[in-house]
Chain A
Amino acid sequence: MSTFKQHSVLPGFNLALGFTLLYLSLIVLIPLSAAFFRAAELTWTEFWTVVTTPRVLASYRLTFGASFAAALTNALFGLLIAWVLVRYQFTGKRLIDALIDLPFALPTAVAGIALTALYAGNGWIGQFLEPLGIKVAFTPVGIYVALTFIGLPFVVRTVQPVLEDIETELEEAAAMLGANRLQIFLRIIFPAIFPALMTGFALAFARAIGEYGSVIFIAGNMPMVSEITPLLIITKLEQYDYAGATAIAVVMLVISFILLLIINLLQWWSRHRNALA
């Protein structure tokens, strides 16, 4: 025990840690392991065949492509919104700041039907896009719109505190030495917020690849065209193809865990960067 835990006068360590481990095992770890044990019942060839059929491959391409595009949009506009909220004064700023987290608080199904109604051919926004030949609802573009919505807060909330902490002195010094605003942004501000920006991007991307509720209403869900991987898992499950559903789920889980690892590294980098600055 002595090497495992440093001495402390505070009581309750065994109880608190014991309960934490028991709860986590029962609710999270053992059920999650079920997916891996189930998938292990397949031979490698069977597993590989299931997770690489053309329909499954098309769903990966769509899920990762749309998630990447959405996370990229979030990085760009998230940075813009964080910048505007930290640096400028304008009316309604506090209200907007509070509403940024709406995609975290609004149930995904509600977001899904609201975006579908807006971007359908007769919707508030869709009616202006349709004459231009842009169809959003029931196409992959709709998936991109839904994923952009749910990922919006991540970049804003990771970049905002870092931007608030940047010392003005550094910018003032650069300005005195003759740097213009763009140079100051590119050489001083952007490097300081880059790790946070990457973290926000990765968080939005990780959230998007697993997203289901907001996407299925607007996607159209056509196999090979607008069918996301999480939906494919449900489809297999409804056909009682447990092995197939589990195999695809394991692929998604492995990718999610790798992303989690990357996010942890990015956050460490971000903290390290800020500690040095």
Chain B
Amino acid sequence: MTTITISYPDKSRRTAITQEPAWVRRTLIGLALIFLALFLFVPLISVFYEALKKGVDVYFAAITEADARAAIRLTLIAAAIAVPLNLIFGVAAAWAIAKFEFRGKNILTTLIDLPFSVSPVIAGLIYVLVFGLQGWLGPWLAEHDIKIIFAVPGIVLATVFVTVPFIARELIPLMQAQGTEEEEAAVILGASGWQTFWRITLPNIKWGLLYGVILCNARAMGEFGAVSVVSGHIRGQTNTLPLHVEILYNEYNYAAAFAVASLLALLALITLAIKTFVESKVTQQKIKE
């Protein structure tokens, strides 16, 4: 979804001839800021304002009660499974696509991006169609007393689905740009495949990898639609943090809903901070090369 943007010499300092008059500049900046304030900053601030409106005690009670703790635990579990799986997938896919030439590469790249163009609701639905009681594997699973839909495995699967492309799509263009010369040299000098990967490839892609991981993690912890379809909404058992927000909100418990939501908003801000830091690292790396 996002690509790492690299800023070259600052284009905002310009000669008079290619610069708009001051009043045009000020009007445009003003319009942009008003739009951003209405659509970005005010909503963000309002989350924390609503969360703390009823006081700090209510806030901490809401985020430490048993159901909230269970939701935090399940969200962490889902992300702890989905992110490493998609990390391994991302590295494998990028290795195959970026380091080798083979037929059907473009199709494979498009297929990896597929989960981004599927509605989260449909992502949940397809797992119901496979694992649900009416689904392909439903009767067999019921016979062996295995629950996937309306249980934790379903939540994990839906989370994995929606986060499949994140790491792969950061690594593929990065590794393509780096080429294969360094790895080829290592192999010719006698390094094994794993040695080459750990000593040469990994140090080269570490920032891109981290970038993909934090975006993948943010989506894994924040996913709502897909998880909502497969969860069954059992409080304390199959509720992730975003689903817990929905339940509290629908119970008109706004202060608690926003308190839990503020944890997720905080996660988003931390994600953006790390992302900005990583982008500056990538820019430095580019300039050095």
A residues in contact (CB < 8 Å) with B = 3-6, 8-13, 15-17, 19-21, 23-24, 27-32, 34-35, 38, 77, 80-81, 83-84, 86-90, 96, 98-111, 113-115, 117-118, 124-125, 145, 148-149, 152-154, 157, 160-161, 163-165, 168, 171-172, 175-176, 181, 184, 203, 206, 209-213, 217, 230-231, 233-234, 237, 240, 242, 245-246, 249, 252-253, 256-257, 259-260, 264
Q: Among B55-63, B139-147, B214-222, which stretch is in contact with chain A?
A: B214-222
User: What residue in chain A is nearest B28 (Cβ atoms)?
Assistant: A84
A and B contact pairs by CB, cutoff 8 A, 23 listed: A4-B103, A5-B100, A8-B99, A15-B92, A16-B96, A20-B93, A24-B89, A24-B112, A34-B126, A89-B13, A90-B29, A104-B218, A105-B218, A107-B223, A107-B267, A108-B222, A108-B242, A109-B222, A109-B264, A114-B258, A164-B5, A165-B8, A233-B122
- Contact code string B83-123 (vs A, CB < 8 Å = 1, else 0): 00100110011011001111100001011111101111110
Which residues from A are CB-within-8-Å of B31? 80
Q: Which of B35, B85, B161, B222 sits near A80, CB closer than 8 Å? A: B35
B contacts with A: majority SS: helix
User: What residue in chain B is nearest A174 (Cβ atoms)?
Assistant: B18
Q: Among B202-210, B270-278, B281-289, which stretch is in contact with chain A?
A: B270-278
Q: How far is the CB of A57 from chain B (nearest CB, A)?
A: 18
Q: A35-B126, A105-B268 are in contact. List 6 more A-B contacts (CB 8 A).
A: A29-B111, A32-B126, A34-B129, A105-B267, A109-B246, A237-B125
List CB contacts (< 8 Å) of B1-56 with chain A. 1-3, 5-8, 11-15, 17-18, 20, 24-25, 28-29, 31-33, 35-36, 38-44, 46-47, 50
A3–B134 Cα distance when bound, in Å, is 44
User: What residue in chain B is nearest A84 (Cβ atoms)?
Assistant: B32
B184 pairs with A10, CB closer than 8 A: yes
A16 pairs with B14, CB closer than 8 A: no
A252 pairs with B40, CB closer than 8 A: no
Asked whether A106 and B110 contact (CB < 8 A) given A17-B102, A118-B43, the answer is no
A35–B254 Cα distance when bound, in Å, is 37
B2 pairs with A168, CB closer than 8 A: no
Asked whether A107 and B222 contact (CB < 8 A) given A20-B108, A24-B111, the answer is yes
A89 pairs with B12, CB closer than 8 A: yes
Asked whether A164 and B7 contact (CB < 8 A) given A12-B193, A114-B47, the answer is yes
Q: How far is the CB of B247 from chain A (nearest CB, A)?
A: 10
B11 pairs with A87, CB closer than 8 A: yes
Which residues from B are CB-within-8-Å of A89? 12-13
Q: How far is the CB of B74 from chain A (nearest CB, A)?
A: 14
A21–B2 Cα distance when bound, in Å, is 24
A249–B245 Cα distance when bound, in Å, is 26
Asked whether A252 and B119 contact (CB < 8 A) given A8-B100, A109-B261, A111-B43, the answer is yes
Which residues from B are CB-within-8-Å of A264? 110
Q: Which of A10, A98, A103, A168 sits near B99, CB closer than 8 Å? A: A10
Q: How far is the CB of A141 from chain B (nearest CB, A)?
A: 14
B130 pairs with A5, CB closer than 8 A: no
A106 pairs with B18, CB closer than 8 A: no
List CB contacts (< 8 Å) of B121-167 with chain A. 121-122, 125-130, 132, 134-136, 157, 160-161, 164
A-B contact number at CB 8 A: 319
B193 pairs with A11, CB closer than 8 A: yes
Would you call B187 an interface residue if the criterion is a C-beta within 8 Å of the partner chain's C-beta atoms? Answer: yes
A113–B264 Cα distance when bound, in Å, is 12
Which residues from B are CB-within-8-Å of A96? 33, 36
Most chain A CB within a 10 A radius of its CB, from B35, B102, B125: B125
A211–B42 Cα distance when bound, in Å, is 21
B2 pairs with A153, CB closer than 8 A: yes
Asked whether A161 and B5 contact (CB < 8 A) given A31-B126, A213-B224, A257-B117, the answer is yes
A277–B195 Cα distance when bound, in Å, is 42
B261 pairs with A242, CB closer than 8 A: no
Q: How far is the CB of B13 from chain A (nearest CB, A)?
A: 7
Would you call B183 an interface residue if the criterion is a C-beta within 8 Å of the partner chain's C-beta atoms? Answer: yes
Q: How far is the CB of A165 from chain B (nearest CB, A)?
A: 8
A96–B88 Cα distance when bound, in Å, is 33
B39 pairs with A148, CB closer than 8 A: yes
Asked whether A31 and B161 contact (CB < 8 A) given A107-B264, A153-B2, the answer is yes
A88 pairs with B96, CB closer than 8 A: no
Asked whether A230 and B129 contact (CB < 8 A) given A11-B193, A109-B242, A114-B261, the answer is no
User: What residue in chain A is nearest B121 (Cβ atoms)?
Assistant: A230
A172 pairs with B17, CB closer than 8 A: yes
A237 pairs with B229, CB closer than 8 A: yes
Q: How far is the CB of A13 from chain B (nearest CB, A)?
A: 5
Q: Which of A84, A106, A181 sits near B29, CB closer than 8 Å? A: A84
Would you call B180 an interface residue if the criterion is a C-beta within 8 Å of the partner chain's C-beta atoms? Answer: yes
Would you call B188 an interface residue if the criterion is a C-beta within 8 Å of the partner chain's C-beta atoms? Answer: yes
Q: Which of B160, B223, B254, B271 sits near A27, CB closer than 8 Å? A: B160
B261 pairs with A102, CB closer than 8 A: no
Q: Which of B36, B215, B269 sits near A104, CB closer than 8 Å? A: B215
A152 pairs with B100, CB closer than 8 A: no
Which residues from B are CB-within-8-Å of A240? 134
Q: Which of B50, B122, B267, B272 sits near A101, CB closer than 8 Å? A: B272
